[in-house]
């Protein structure tokens, strides 16, 4: 999860680095902690840090973590040469480490050598069967080749063992959504909601999956989860506000409405008012467009 304060901190550090006087170690640490994918920046500043002998010697043993981070960033930016140097340095330092073996496998993946990568992961898994990250890499291999149903199968097997891994549940939900298997995706989001009931974005995801499935019952539930997203995000999440409006519109077109729903369109009009206010504050030139869209939804 990345909160507002975290996001501001990352942006501040990035700006400082751009102007040339930022703390690279702090930035890299924060990116690691928040699990952000800012590969280009990590690569650029990380390599500069590793090229600077005096800064490097100050890091002590942390330098190997940074080698690993830079290697992954280099793979993500398709800079295989830098990645190779990092992996080689790590292999010399830790020849028997499972973590470095995983990195080597990722390097194979980046080159498209799926079988070799898979072989590396398999051989390490035999020694350390409960290394969750290696299992996840095997899912990623299928995903990278576009074999989504195999990826889903592997991931389900993984989740049988590591049920509390909510990132894996989120990944499974994403895979199901891209295969248009919305009911299964909804199940994954239910698991996520149980794991982190305070996370507004999981409420939003669940609501969106239910809205996509459609049907009166699902729309009603979706509206409730959109509403809870609004509550948890302090009314700042525009997607949830639009969602409430759209659910209200879809429900008003069905005939199976309860009397309460017919009379009570308060939530919808309140959400519409907030959307309009946000647009007037932040993008005044689009406010007219938004108000006409919202007006159409009412009628």
Partner 1 sequence: MRGDMVAGALGLLVLAHAVYSTIRYRGSLKLMEEEFVRAPPQVLLELLVSLGLCFWAALRVPGSFLPILLDAQENRVRQLSDDLDFMIFNHRGKLFAPKFEVKFRA
Give me the residues that bind partner 1 (CB under 8 A), please.
Answer: 1-7, 34-37, 39-40, 43-44, 47-48, 50-51, 72, 74-79, 82, 85, 106, 109-110, 112, 132-133, 136-137, 139-140, 143-144, 167-168, 170-171, 198-201, 231-234, 236
Of 251 and 275, nearer to partner 1 (C-beta) is 275
CB of 59 to partner 1, least distance (A): 16
Distance (Å, whole) CA 42 – CA 63: 14
Among 107, 14, 90, 108, smallest CA distance to 50 is for 90
Of 5 and 160, nearer to partner 1 (C-beta) is 5
Q: What is the enclosing helix (H) or strand (E) of 160?
A: helix 148-161
Of 104 and 109, nearer to partner 1 (C-beta) is 109
CB of 49 to partner 1, least distance (A): 11
CB of 106 to partner 1, least distance (A): 7
Cβ neighbours of residue 3 under 8 Å, at least 6 residues apart?
none
CB of 54 to partner 1, least distance (A): 13
Q: How many residues does the chain have?
A: 299
Of 15 and 133, nearer to partner 1 (C-beta) is 133
**Sign of the four-CA dihedral 83, 84, 86, 90:** positive
Among 7, 4, 48, smallest CA distance to 25 is for 48
> Cα dist. 13→7, 9, 35, 62, 279 in Å?
10, 6, 16, 19, 29
CB of 163 to partner 1, least distance (A): 16
Of 40 and 283, nearer to partner 1 (C-beta) is 40
* Cβ neighbours of 264 (radius 10 Å): 11
């Amino acid at each position: 999860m990345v909160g507002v304060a975290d996001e501001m901190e990352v942006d501040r550090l990035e700006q400082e680095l751009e102007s040339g006087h930022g703390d690279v170690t702090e930035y890299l640490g924060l990116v690691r902690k928040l699990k952000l994918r800012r590969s280009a920046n990590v690569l650029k500043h990380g390599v500069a840090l590793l090229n600077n002998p005096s800064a490097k010697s100050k890091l002590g043993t942390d330098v190997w973590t940074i080698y690993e981070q830079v290697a992954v960033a280099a793979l993500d930016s398709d800079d295989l040469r830098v990645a190779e140097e990092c992996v080689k340095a790590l292999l010399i330092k830790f020849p028997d480490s499972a973590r470095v073996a995983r990195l080597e496998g990722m390097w194979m993946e980046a080159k498209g050598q799926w079988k070799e990568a898979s072989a590396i992961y398999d051989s390490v898994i035999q020694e350390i069967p409960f290394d969750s990250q290696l299992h996840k890499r095997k899912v990623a291999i299928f995903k990278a080749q576009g074999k989504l149903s195999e990826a889903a199968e592997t991931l389900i097997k993984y989740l049988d063992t590591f049920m509390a891994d909510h990132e894996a549940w989120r990944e499974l939900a994403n895979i199901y959504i891209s295969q248009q298997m919305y009911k299964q995706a909804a199940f994954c989001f239910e698991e996520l909601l149980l794991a982190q009931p305070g996370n507004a974005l999981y409420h939003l995801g669940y609501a969106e999956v239910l809205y996509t499935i459609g049907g009166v019952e699902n729309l009603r539930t979706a509206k409730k989860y959109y509403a809870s997203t609004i509550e948890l995000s302090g009314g700042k999440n525009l997607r949830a506000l639009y969602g409430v409006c759209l659910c209200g519109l879809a429900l008003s077109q069905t005939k199976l409405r309860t009397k309460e729903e017919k009379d009570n369109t308060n939530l919808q009009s309140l959400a519409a008012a907030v959307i309009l206010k946000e647009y007037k504050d932040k993008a005044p030139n689009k406010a007219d467009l938004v108000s006409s869209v919202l007006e159409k939804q009412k009628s």
